[in-house]
């Protein structure tokens, strides 16, 4: 019989160890990090992390860099860039774009927050106003371009990572504007047509927009310096072999930015481009994220021991089956049929549901997050399909009278996890994340938005996990074997979808469009990138659902916990497009 404290202790240890590792990395060498709020020109509240190296003082100002994340990300997504910039003596202001993170909605407003961010950076006493750099990824590139357009003489150079000048959201680039541009545009970018008007990212060198920016009538040559740094007309193109989201977490992409600012800004504390430590911070927050999942499992176990929740628990056998022990579930054909229906239907409905929601349910005052609306529609459609197929699932004895208790234990369990994240932010200045998979604290406005979406998303998990356990879960199956089975049932369809999409991208240079809609230039790339997050998120759901089912014999407590956590994850991590 496993000690009921095991998972709780493991979760706390992982969170503390991961948080300490992340904090030690991002403050290495005496870097100070501040979480700030400041007012924009329109009276809106903006959010940022400010990284100040020890060499930057009011008496001896240092160069400054404005670093901006892409669409439906947040300021922490740029931490690899921010850490390495700060280690080289640059003061970094990593903002949340408007409508993202803790900056006031709506998204896209006020130049995405770029002019406000640049004005704030220039107002810091420890910043040398004559040595300002701008760096942005994807829509963050349009954010810094908006800053450059609003304050054309208030920066020296910029790096655009997976971004572009010109339509749809920026002014057209010329040989003299913006000043000193390095463009990092990966060979397997998902957005070549949206950004540069070419079908394949590898053809960006032949883009008319790029030729206009570089002032050349022939294809731009990667790595070649065009123009003159002293005159502010320098241009360079880098084409690393990676995808659009991979630029967040790439030594090569970060290295190109370090090299460019080293050439175009004066001051700081130079280091070799390959001297990078940011990945250790990502590993630390990944460890803390795993600890969060373990803590939820441990908190649930401990709460079951309290009198108010004890009725949920089922007696545990004196001898548990081996962790990897498996047991046959019904006939082989029936089991595999259930598995593939569970795995494939959510993936097959993914693009159509997102397309329908995007067309028919755009953001509005009481449904203010466009991406969350799309996920909600996908969840509701799959809820209906699950209910229709439920009669074909294996019959199980039901437990009655546990709804109120299940709601109570779910709320308290998730509250314990939320407090753990709040304490981690307080002690280590981190969220729980790896790459673009991030669990963040919610702002006051996001808490209200959470209340809008939590019921429909949780209803999906209540039905889906009920059928999942009816089909696959057995008491004589080991914990690890059962958790892996359930996680694979939930994620295999999305894994196949992503393998097909990125295999096609690698072979042909572009993603395939299952909807064959000619006007969906940015829809499939964005939706495909969002699908990447479904894999780890649903895998965690499978693990949590398995653990809680084994403790209670019911799918309901785990489904409620997963609904609460997933809604929190989505609302805090995406954009709010409508004023709220």
As for how many domains the chain has, the answer is: 2
* Contact assessment for residue 136 and residue 163, using Cβ atoms and an 8 Å cutoff: yes
Give the CA count within 13 Å in the CB-facing half-sphere of 563: 30
Q: What is the pLDDT of residue 477?
A: 76
Same structural domain for residues 253 and 293? no
pLDDT of residue 323: 62
Q: What pLDDT does 314 receive?
A: 84
Q: Give the separation between CA 239 and CA 242, rounded to whole angstroms.
A: 9
Q: Specify whether 258 is located in the same domain as 287.
A: no
- Please report the pLDDT score of residue 1 as a whole number: 43
Say if 415 falls within a structural domain. yes
302 and 161 in a common domain: no
364 and 241, same domain (yes or no)? no
For residue 18, being part of any structural domain is answered with no
pLDDT of residue 265: 97
* 378 in any annotated domain: yes
pLDDT score recorded for residue 326: 63
CA–CA dist 91, 54 (Å, integer): 10
526 and 465 in a single domain? The answer is: yes
Q: Are 338 and 269 within one domain?
A: no
Question: What pLDDT shows up at residue 522?
Answer: 82
Tokens of 159: 């790096």
- Tens digit of each residue's pLDDT, the chain (580 residues): 457 899 999 999 999 999 999 999 999 999 999 999 999 999 999 999 999 999 999 999 999 999 999 999 999 999 999 999 999 999 999 999 999 999 999 999 999 999 999 999 999 999 999 999 999 999 999 999 999 999 999 999 999 999 999 998 999 999 999 999 999 999 999 999 999 999 999 999 999 999 999 999 999 999 999 999 999 999 999 999 999 999 999 999 999 999 999 999 999 999 999 999 999 999 999 999 999 999 999 999 999 999 999 999 887 665 666 666 665 554 578 889 999 999 999 999 999 999 999 989 989 999 999 999 999 999 999 999 999 988 877 777 777 789 999 999 999 999 999 999 999 999 999 999 999 999 999 999 999 999 999 999 999 999 999 999 988 888 777 788 899 999 999 999 999 999 999 999 999 999 998 876 545 668 999 999 999 999 999 999 999 999 999 999 999 999 999 999 999 999 999 999 998 7
How far is 549 from 389, CA to CA, in rounded Å? Answer: 21
Residue 322: the pLDDT is 63
110 and 45, same structural domain? Answer: yes
**384 found inside a domain:** yes
Q: Please check whether residue 371 lies inside any domain of the structure.
A: yes
Is residue 4 in some structural domain?
no
Backbone angles phi, psi at 433, to 5 degrees: -160, 165
Mapped onto helix, strand or coil, the DSSP state of residue 29 is helix
Considering the domain architecture, whether residues 258 and 306 belong to the same structural domain is answered as: no
Give the whole-angstrom CA distance, residue 515 versus residue 504. Answer: 16
Range of the domain at 427: 281-321+333-391+404-573
Burial of 519 (0-12, 13-18, 19+ CB in 10 A): exposed
**Which two three-digit tokens encode residue 379?**
């969840």
Provide the H-helix boundaries in 324-369.
332-348, 350-360
């Amino acid at each position: 019989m496993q000690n009921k404290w095991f998972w709780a202790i493991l979760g706390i240890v992982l969170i503390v160890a991961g948080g300490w590792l992340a904090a030690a990395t991002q403050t290495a060498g005496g870097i100070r990090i501040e979480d700030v709020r400041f007012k924009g020109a329109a009276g809106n509240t903006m959010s940022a992390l400010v990284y100040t190296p020890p060499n930057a003082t009011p008496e001896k100002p240092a160069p400054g860099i404005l670093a901006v994340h892409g669409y439906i990300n947040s300021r922490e997504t740029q931490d690899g860039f921010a850490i390495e910039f700060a280690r080289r003596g640059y003061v970094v202001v990593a903002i949340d774009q408007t409508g993202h993170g803790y900056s006031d909605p709506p998204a896209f407003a006020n130049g995405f927050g770029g002019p406000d961010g640049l004005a704030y950076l220039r107002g810091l006493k420890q910043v040398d106003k004559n040595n300002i750099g701008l760096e942005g990824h994807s829509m963050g590139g349009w954010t810094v371009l908006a800053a450059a357009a609003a304050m054309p003489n208030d920066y020296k150079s910029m790096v655009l990572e997976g971004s572009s000048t010109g339509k749809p959201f920026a002014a057209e680039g010329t040989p003299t504007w913006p000043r000193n541009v390095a463009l990092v545009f990966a060979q397997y970018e998902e957005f070549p047509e949206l950004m540069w008007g070419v079908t394949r990212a590898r053809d960006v060198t032949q883009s008319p927009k790029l030729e206009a920016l570089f002032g050349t009538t022939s294809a731009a040559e990667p790595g070649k310096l065009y123009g003159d740094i002293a005159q502010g007309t320098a241009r360079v193109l880098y084409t690393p072999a990676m995808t659009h989201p991979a630029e967040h977490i790439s030594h090569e992409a970060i290295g190109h930015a370090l090299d460019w600012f080293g050439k175009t800004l004066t001051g700081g504390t130079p280091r070799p481009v390959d001297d990078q430590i940011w990945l250790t911070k990502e590993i630390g927050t990944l460890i803390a994220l795993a600890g969060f999942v373990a803590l939820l499992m441990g908190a649930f176990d401990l709460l079951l021991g309290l009198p108010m929740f004890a009725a949920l628990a089922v007696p545990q056998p004196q001898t548990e089956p081996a962790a990897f022990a498996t047991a046959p579930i019904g006939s082989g054909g029936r089991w595999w049929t259930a598995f593939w229906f569970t795995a494939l239907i959510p993936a097959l409905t993914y693009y159509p549901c997102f397309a329908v929601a995007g067309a028919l349910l755009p953001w509005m005052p009481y449904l203010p997050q466009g991406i969350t609306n799309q996920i909600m529609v996908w969840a509701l459609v799959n809820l209906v399909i699950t209910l229709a197929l439920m009669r074909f699932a294996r019959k199980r004895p039901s437990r009655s009278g546990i709804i109120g208790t299940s709601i109570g234990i779910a709320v308290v369990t998730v509250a314990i996890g939320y407090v753990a994240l709040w304490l981690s932010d307080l002690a280590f200045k981190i969220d729980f994340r790896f790459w673009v998979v991030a669990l963040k604290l919610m702002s006051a406005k996001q808490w209200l938005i959470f209340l809008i979406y939590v019921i429909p998303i949780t209803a999906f998990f209540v039905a889906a996990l009920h059928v999942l356990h009816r089909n696959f879960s057995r008491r004589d199956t080991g914990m690890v074997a059962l958790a892996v089975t359930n996680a694979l049932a939930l994620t295999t369809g999305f894994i196949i979808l992503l393998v097909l999409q990125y295999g096609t991208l690698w072979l042909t240079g572009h993603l395939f469009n299952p909807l064959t809609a000619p006007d969906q230039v940015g829809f499939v790339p964005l939706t495909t990138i969002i699908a990447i997050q479904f894999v780890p998120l649903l895998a965690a759901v499978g693990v949590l659902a398995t653990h809680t089912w084994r403790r209670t014999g019911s799918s309901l407590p785990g489904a409620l916990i997963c609904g609460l956590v997933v809604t929190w994850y989505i609302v805090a991590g995406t954009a709010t497009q409508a004023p709220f």
